[in-house]
Chains A and B, each alone.
Chain A
Amino acid sequence: MQTNKLYQAVLHVIMTVFTLFCILPFWLMVSASLTDNDTILRDGYAFIPKQFDLSAYTYLLDNATNIIHAYGITIFITITGTVAGLAFTALIAYPLSRKDMPFRNALAFYVFFTMLFNGGLVPMYLLYTDIFELKNTLWALLIPNLLVNGFYIIMMRTFFATTIPEAVIESAYMDGAKEGTIFVRIVLPLSMPVLATVGLFYTINYWNDWFNGLIFVSNSELYSLQNLLNRILLDIQFLQSSSQLSSHMSDGVSRIPLESMRMAMAVIGIVPLILLYPFFQKFFVKGLTIGAVKG
């Protein structure tokens, strides 16, 4: 019994250390955003605010138009992308799960091959800029690479194939139900776990995406939240380096609480995710588990 208690204690120590390693950077960021800017300039970022101050947030509130606009873009893209991606994925995953589907294996390979090989960045970039001319449009944030994912199709197909009993589908046939009715009325309601999971994956991919914005968008009107955050990260560096060069920097820039504001921006960028996390964590873990089952 004694060794057992010791073993448990050691486990808790290891896990606490690793957990702290995972969350301390967030803590540092939140603390820095709540610290008076002059204190940061003197003492640096610290885990406990030496001089508590909300001016970074009040500054952001007063200059909220950009942020609200970027939030709007991100929310719109995330909802549209998730709904469309989920629909496309389910619509192909279900037929693939049915043994009586013609060309089933060929179609499965067609999906699977996209996971093994791709054309690379340059042809993709040229395709969307030259042929489809998506540059600086909302479509550029929505379509390239994110909309349908081969891995999620395979994952959903596996779920349909393993958890929907064939007998249920057959008896629905007997009762005269059509394919579409069976899919919508029987298969989908039985598949809520996988729909929630894949939906969540799409949501996170869209919410966090910045690469499409980086390569396809130069118009700041179309900045998503991540692209705005990226821009601020780099712009402040630019402002700082130029203020070192010229001592007579304009007053406008020096009055902005640059350091704390930068961290406050990052906090605002992750707040929605942190708030939602407790609710979707359960699904996320379930989803990872389904994904780990071989397709």
Chain B
Amino acid sequence: MTLPAVLYLLINNYMPMFGTIIAFKDVNFTKGILGSDWIGLKNFEYLFKTKDAFIITRNTLLYNLTFIVLNTTIAIALAIFLNDIKNRFLSRTYQSLILLPHLISIIIVGYLVLALLDVKNGFMNKSLLPLLGMDEVSWYMETGPWPYILTIVNMWKGVGYACVIYLAAIIGIDQEYYEAATLDGANRWQQIRHITLPMIVPVITILTLLMIGRIFYSDFGLFYQVPLNSGSLMPVTNTIDTYVYRALINLGDYGMSSAAGLYQAIVGFILVMLSNSIVRKVDKDNALF
């Protein structure tokens, strides 16, 4: 019964793990991958000598940290709000509508951002900025706004999903706690601080752990597709994932590209282990494994 899935995971997930030896080889296709010469850590040396290595690491980490903090805070706040809304129909309507962006492919997101930011016809340049008496901006050429744009797009796409999970956790809290607190004279804010938030700590921990484990990975589409692969934006849009893709597809540099990929996988792995063991020390039940 388990055979199809076991085989699939073997091929799709385990075989590429052994393929990481490419990172230590001078890939030469006439000799084949196994026959290519070993060059030790040369690929990593080349990678870390470029200034790209610093930029892609910085971008990946800073964006992800921002996303984790911002999305988690907003999602929890919205979940609390949604739970407090008495009108069930409106509460459900809000919930459905904020979840919608999560279901759309990043290609469509690219279209939506373009409708707003297109230099010639975009809503920002044609309607909003003139209204505010400001000059047009060449959005796809100027790096300045992009850290904000990408953060907003990511929040737009991701908050609904996290919000629904937190909402489910909040709904699961036993109502008796709130009744007891009301009898003790606790106001709404005190109830949130002393009941709601502590009760959803396990869910917050698990979701944050999962995100920290992925902190060296980035949403390729968000950083490649939404800025429309614009070269002049690379200083603020290049992450490890887009770097690996470009090194592979545009330059055909298999060695350096897989060195960057392995760097990403190993640091990511260490981070999951580390954060999980920290959580284990604090509260064993909240750890992932």
Contact = CB atoms under 8 A, between A and B. Distances in A.
Contact of A229 (B84, B98, B111, B206): B111
Given A92-B6, A111-B5, 20 more contacts: A11-B81, A14-B81, A22-B98, A22-B101, A25-B112, A28-B116, A29-B115, A44-B121, A45-B116, A107-B2, A118-B13, A118-B16, A120-B244, A121-B244, A122-B22, A122-B258, A125-B248, A143-B12, A211-B221, A291-B165
B121 A23 contact: no
Given A19-B97, A121-B261, A44 B16 contact: no
A217 to B, nearest CB: 13
B161 interface: yes
B169 interface: yes
A116 B6 contact: no
Contact of B258 (A46, A123, A209): A123
A43 B118 CA distance: 12
A19 B94 contact: yes
A148 to B, nearest CB: 5
B13 to A, nearest CB: 4
Contacts of B98: 18-19, 22
Given A111-B9, A273-B103, A40 B121 contact: yes
Interface string A29-42: 10010000000110
B7 to A, nearest CB: 9
Interface residues of A, number: 89
Interface stretch (A61-69, A247-255, A281-289): A281-289
B17 A117 contact: yes
Interface of A: 7-8, 11-12, 14-16, 18-19, 21-23, 25-26, 28-29, 32, 40-41, 43-47, 87-89, 91-92, 94-96, 107, 110-112, 114, 116-127, 130, 143-145, 147-148, 150, 153, 183, 204, 207-211, 215, 226, 229-230, 233-234, 237, 259, 262-263, 265-266, 269-270, 273, 277-278, 281, 284-285, 288-289, 291-292, 294
16 contacts: A28-B123, A46-B127, A88-B5, A92-B6, A119-B16, A122-B19, A122-B261, A127-B19, A144-B12, A150-B13, A230-B225, A263-B111, A270-B108, A281-B99, A289-B164, A289-B168
B151 interface: no
Interface of B: 1-2, 4-6, 8-9, 11-20, 22, 33, 78, 81-82, 84-87, 90, 93-101, 103-108, 110-116, 118, 120-123, 125-127, 156, 160-161, 164-165, 168-169, 188, 202-203, 206-207, 213, 220-221, 225, 228-229, 241, 244-245, 248-249, 254, 257-258, 261-262, 264-265, 268-269, 272, 289
Contact of A88 (B8, B85, B110): B8
A88 to B, nearest CB: 5
A19 B156 CA distance: 10
B105 A45 contact: no
B107 A281 contact: no
B2 A91 contact: yes
B249 A45 contact: no
A292 B165 contact: yes
Contacts of A8: 84-87
Q: Which 7 A-B pairs have the closest CB atoms?
A: A44-B126, A123-B19, A120-B261, A119-B16, A208-B105, A122-B258, A92-B5
B271 to A, nearest CB: 10
B97 A122 contact: no
A165 to B, nearest CB: 21
B16 A123 contact: yes
Max chain A C-beta neighbours (<10 A), residue from B12, B103, B115, B118: B115
Contacts of B269: 116-117
Contacts of A259: 121
Contact of A46 (B20, B112, B113, B123): B123
A95 B1 contact: yes
